[in-house]
Homo-oligomer: A and B are copies of this chain.
Amino acid sequence: MTAQARGLHARVLDSLGPAITAGEYPPGSVLRTDELAQRFEVSRSVMREVVRVLESMHLVASRRRVGVTVRPTEEWNVYDPQVIRWRLAGADRPRQLRSLTVLRSAVEPVAAGLAARNATAEQCAALTECALGMVATSRGRQLEGYLVHDMAFHRIVLDASGNEMFARLGDVVAEVLAGRTHHDVMFEDPDPAAVTLHVRVAEAVREGDAARAEALTREIAEGALRELDILAPPPAPAS
Protein backbone atom coordinates (compact mmCIF):
# COMPACT_ATOMS: atom_id res chain seq x y z
CA MET A 1 0.00 0.00 0.00
CA THR A 2 2.56 2.59 1.09
CA ALA A 3 5.24 3.42 -1.47
CA GLN A 4 8.05 0.96 -1.21
CA ALA A 5 11.16 2.44 -2.82
CA ARG A 6 11.24 6.13 -1.96
CA GLY A 7 14.79 6.57 -0.85
CA LEU A 8 16.95 5.02 1.79
CA HIS A 9 16.27 7.83 4.18
CA ALA A 10 12.51 7.26 4.22
CA ARG A 11 12.88 3.53 4.55
CA VAL A 12 15.14 3.75 7.57
CA LEU A 13 12.84 6.36 9.11
CA ASP A 14 9.85 4.09 8.63
CA SER A 15 11.72 1.37 10.41
CA LEU A 16 13.23 3.29 13.29
CA GLY A 17 10.31 5.65 13.92
CA PRO A 18 7.73 2.97 14.65
CA ALA A 19 10.26 1.11 16.78
CA ILE A 20 10.68 4.15 18.99
CA THR A 21 7.00 5.06 19.24
CA ALA A 22 6.25 1.42 20.04
CA GLY A 23 8.53 1.70 23.04
CA GLU A 24 11.06 -0.73 21.65
CA TYR A 25 13.68 1.75 22.82
CA PRO A 26 12.26 3.02 26.13
CA PRO A 27 12.67 6.69 27.00
CA GLY A 28 16.15 7.37 28.23
CA SER A 29 17.68 4.74 25.96
CA VAL A 30 20.81 5.92 24.24
CA LEU A 31 21.54 5.13 20.62
CA ARG A 32 24.65 5.92 18.68
CA THR A 33 24.45 7.22 15.13
CA ASP A 34 27.33 5.07 13.89
CA GLU A 35 25.89 1.95 15.42
CA LEU A 36 22.48 2.62 13.89
CA ALA A 37 24.10 3.27 10.53
CA GLN A 38 25.72 -0.15 10.71
CA ARG A 39 22.57 -1.86 11.87
CA PHE A 40 20.52 -0.45 9.00
CA GLU A 41 23.40 -0.78 6.54
CA VAL A 42 23.38 2.83 5.45
CA SER A 43 25.99 5.55 5.52
CA ARG A 44 26.33 7.94 8.41
CA SER A 45 24.95 10.77 6.25
CA VAL A 46 21.67 9.00 5.78
CA MET A 47 21.42 8.04 9.42
CA ARG A 48 22.20 11.58 10.50
CA GLU A 49 19.32 12.87 8.40
CA VAL A 50 17.01 10.29 9.96
CA VAL A 51 18.09 11.30 13.44
CA ARG A 52 17.54 14.95 12.59
CA VAL A 53 13.97 14.25 11.54
CA LEU A 54 13.28 12.17 14.65
CA GLU A 55 14.73 15.03 16.62
CA SER A 56 12.38 17.51 14.95
CA MET A 57 9.52 15.27 16.07
CA HIS A 58 10.90 15.47 19.60
CA LEU A 59 11.15 11.69 19.70
CA VAL A 60 14.86 11.87 20.44
CA ALA A 61 17.45 14.39 21.53
CA SER A 62 20.97 14.34 20.17
CA ARG A 63 23.82 15.45 22.40
CA ARG A 64 27.53 15.44 21.86
CA ARG A 65 29.57 12.85 23.62
CA VAL A 66 26.35 11.23 24.85
CA GLY A 67 24.51 10.03 21.80
CA VAL A 68 20.92 10.02 20.66
CA THR A 69 18.58 9.80 23.64
CA VAL A 70 14.96 8.69 23.38
CA ARG A 71 12.74 11.34 24.94
CA PRO A 72 9.91 10.68 27.39
CA THR A 73 6.53 10.17 25.77
CA GLU A 74 5.09 13.43 27.10
CA GLU A 75 7.51 15.39 24.95
CA TRP A 76 6.73 13.74 21.63
CA ASN A 77 5.07 15.80 18.91
CA VAL A 78 1.93 13.72 19.04
CA TYR A 79 0.21 15.91 16.44
CA ASP A 80 2.73 14.99 13.75
CA PRO A 81 0.74 12.91 11.26
CA GLN A 82 3.70 10.59 10.84
CA VAL A 83 3.92 9.97 14.57
CA ILE A 84 0.16 9.42 14.71
CA ARG A 85 0.39 6.87 11.92
CA TRP A 86 3.28 5.06 13.61
CA ARG A 87 1.45 4.91 16.91
CA LEU A 88 -1.80 3.79 15.34
CA ALA A 89 0.10 0.96 13.70
CA GLY A 90 1.74 -0.07 16.95
CA ALA A 91 0.84 -1.66 20.24
CA ASP A 92 -0.82 1.22 22.04
CA ARG A 93 -3.24 1.71 19.20
CA PRO A 94 -6.25 1.60 21.56
CA ARG A 95 -4.89 4.36 23.79
CA GLN A 96 -4.10 6.46 20.76
CA LEU A 97 -7.53 5.88 19.26
CA ARG A 98 -9.13 6.98 22.48
CA SER A 99 -7.05 10.16 22.70
CA LEU A 100 -7.90 11.05 19.13
CA THR A 101 -11.59 10.35 19.57
CA VAL A 102 -11.72 12.61 22.60
CA LEU A 103 -9.96 15.27 20.56
CA ARG A 104 -12.53 14.82 17.82
CA SER A 105 -15.35 15.15 20.31
CA ALA A 106 -13.98 18.52 21.34
CA VAL A 107 -13.13 19.89 17.92
CA GLU A 108 -15.77 18.67 15.50
CA PRO A 109 -18.83 20.24 17.14
CA VAL A 110 -17.19 23.65 17.14
CA ALA A 111 -16.02 23.09 13.57
CA ALA A 112 -19.54 22.20 12.52
CA GLY A 113 -20.85 25.38 14.09
CA LEU A 114 -18.33 27.43 12.16
CA ALA A 115 -19.07 25.49 9.00
CA ALA A 116 -22.74 26.47 9.28
CA ARG A 117 -21.59 30.07 9.15
CA ASN A 118 -18.85 29.80 6.56
CA ALA A 119 -19.59 26.90 4.21
CA THR A 120 -19.81 27.73 0.52
CA ALA A 121 -22.64 26.47 -1.66
CA GLU A 122 -20.30 23.86 -3.13
CA GLN A 123 -19.35 22.60 0.31
CA CYS A 124 -23.01 22.39 1.32
CA ALA A 125 -23.77 20.39 -1.79
CA ALA A 126 -20.83 18.07 -1.23
CA LEU A 127 -21.86 17.61 2.38
CA THR A 128 -25.40 16.66 1.43
CA GLU A 129 -24.08 14.28 -1.17
CA CYS A 130 -21.90 12.58 1.41
CA ALA A 131 -24.78 12.27 3.83
CA LEU A 132 -26.92 10.70 1.12
CA GLY A 133 -24.09 8.38 0.25
CA MET A 134 -23.91 7.31 3.88
CA VAL A 135 -27.62 6.57 3.89
CA ALA A 136 -27.32 4.57 0.68
CA THR A 137 -24.51 2.40 2.07
CA SER A 138 -25.75 2.10 5.64
CA ARG A 139 -27.28 -1.33 5.16
CA GLY A 140 -26.11 -4.60 3.75
CA ARG A 141 -22.47 -4.71 4.82
CA GLN A 142 -21.32 -1.99 2.43
CA LEU A 143 -18.83 -0.90 5.05
CA GLU A 144 -16.11 0.27 2.70
CA GLY A 145 -18.48 2.48 0.73
CA TYR A 146 -19.91 3.87 3.94
CA LEU A 147 -16.43 4.62 5.25
CA VAL A 148 -15.53 6.63 2.15
CA HIS A 149 -18.55 8.87 2.55
CA ASP A 150 -18.09 9.15 6.30
CA MET A 151 -14.48 10.26 5.92
CA ALA A 152 -15.40 12.75 3.20
CA PHE A 153 -18.23 14.14 5.31
CA HIS A 154 -16.07 14.91 8.30
CA ARG A 155 -13.27 16.29 6.15
CA ILE A 156 -15.65 18.70 4.46
CA VAL A 157 -17.02 19.92 7.78
CA LEU A 158 -13.50 20.55 9.08
CA ASP A 159 -12.50 22.31 5.86
CA ALA A 160 -15.67 24.39 5.74
CA SER A 161 -15.06 25.66 9.26
CA GLY A 162 -12.57 28.04 7.71
CA ASN A 163 -10.09 27.36 10.49
CA GLU A 164 -6.82 25.93 9.26
CA MET A 165 -6.08 24.15 12.53
CA PHE A 166 -9.37 22.31 12.25
CA ALA A 167 -8.88 21.62 8.57
CA ARG A 168 -5.58 19.90 9.24
CA LEU A 169 -7.30 17.39 11.49
CA GLY A 170 -9.08 15.93 8.47
CA ASP A 171 -6.40 13.31 7.96
CA VAL A 172 -6.44 12.36 11.62
CA VAL A 173 -10.21 11.92 11.68
CA ALA A 174 -9.99 9.85 8.52
CA GLU A 175 -7.43 7.59 10.19
CA VAL A 176 -9.66 7.15 13.22
CA LEU A 177 -12.70 6.32 11.14
CA ALA A 178 -10.76 3.93 8.96
CA GLY A 179 -9.27 2.29 12.02
CA ARG A 180 -12.70 1.78 13.52
CA THR A 181 -14.01 0.10 10.40
CA HIS A 182 -10.97 -2.00 9.73
CA HIS A 183 -10.15 -3.18 13.23
CA ASP A 184 -13.06 -2.94 15.59
CA VAL A 185 -16.64 -3.13 14.39
CA MET A 186 -16.41 -4.23 10.80
CA PHE A 187 -18.89 -7.03 11.41
CA GLU A 188 -22.06 -4.97 11.78
CA ASP A 189 -23.77 -2.16 9.89
CA PRO A 190 -23.32 1.39 11.19
CA ASP A 191 -25.65 2.74 13.85
CA PRO A 192 -28.78 4.06 12.08
CA ALA A 193 -29.06 6.89 14.59
CA ALA A 194 -25.58 8.09 13.61
CA VAL A 195 -26.54 8.05 9.95
CA THR A 196 -29.59 10.19 10.63
CA LEU A 197 -27.51 12.61 12.66
CA HIS A 198 -25.13 13.10 9.75
CA VAL A 199 -28.04 13.92 7.45
CA ARG A 200 -29.35 16.43 9.93
CA VAL A 201 -25.94 18.04 10.36
CA ALA A 202 -25.79 18.53 6.61
CA GLU A 203 -29.22 20.16 6.78
CA ALA A 204 -28.26 22.43 9.63
CA VAL A 205 -25.07 23.54 7.88
CA ARG A 206 -26.99 24.19 4.67
CA GLU A 207 -29.50 26.30 6.57
CA GLY A 208 -26.75 28.17 8.38
CA ASP A 209 -28.01 27.04 11.78
CA ALA A 210 -24.76 27.05 13.73
CA ALA A 211 -26.19 26.10 17.10
CA ARG A 212 -28.01 23.10 15.72
CA ALA A 213 -25.07 21.94 13.63
CA GLU A 214 -22.91 22.10 16.73
CA ALA A 215 -25.39 20.28 18.95
CA LEU A 216 -26.00 17.53 16.42
CA THR A 217 -22.30 17.01 15.86
CA ARG A 218 -21.85 16.81 19.58
CA GLU A 219 -24.34 13.96 19.56
CA ILE A 220 -22.33 12.18 16.88
CA ALA A 221 -19.19 12.65 18.94
CA GLU A 222 -20.84 11.34 22.07
CA GLY A 223 -21.92 8.29 20.12
CA ALA A 224 -18.35 7.68 19.07
CA LEU A 225 -17.18 7.99 22.66
CA ARG A 226 -19.85 5.57 23.89
CA GLU A 227 -18.86 3.12 21.20
CA LEU A 228 -15.27 3.38 22.35
CA ASP A 229 -16.23 2.77 25.96
CA ILE A 230 -18.02 -0.39 24.96
CA LEU A 231 -15.17 -1.75 22.90
CA ALA A 232 -12.36 -0.72 25.23
CA PRO A 233 -13.34 0.53 28.69
CA PRO A 234 -11.46 3.61 29.92
CA PRO A 235 -8.42 3.11 32.18
CA ALA A 236 -10.03 4.19 35.49
CA PRO A 237 -13.75 3.46 35.89
CA ALA A 238 -15.48 5.78 38.36
CA SER A 239 -15.15 4.36 41.86
Contacts and interface: CB of A to CB of B under 8 A. Distances in A.
B79 A56 contact: no
User: How many monomers of this chain does the complex have?
Assistant: 2
Nearest to A78: B168
Interface string A102-122: 110111011100100110000
Interface residues of A, number: 38
Interface string A51-83: 011011100000000000000011001111110
A164 interface: yes
Contacts of A42: none
23 contacts: A45-B45, A45-B48, A49-B52, A52-B53, A53-B53, A53-B55, A53-B56, A56-B80, A74-B164, A78-B165, A78-B168, A79-B80, A79-B168, A99-B163, A99-B164, A100-B165, A102-B114, A102-B163, A102-B166, A103-B165, A103-B166, A106-B106, A107-B107
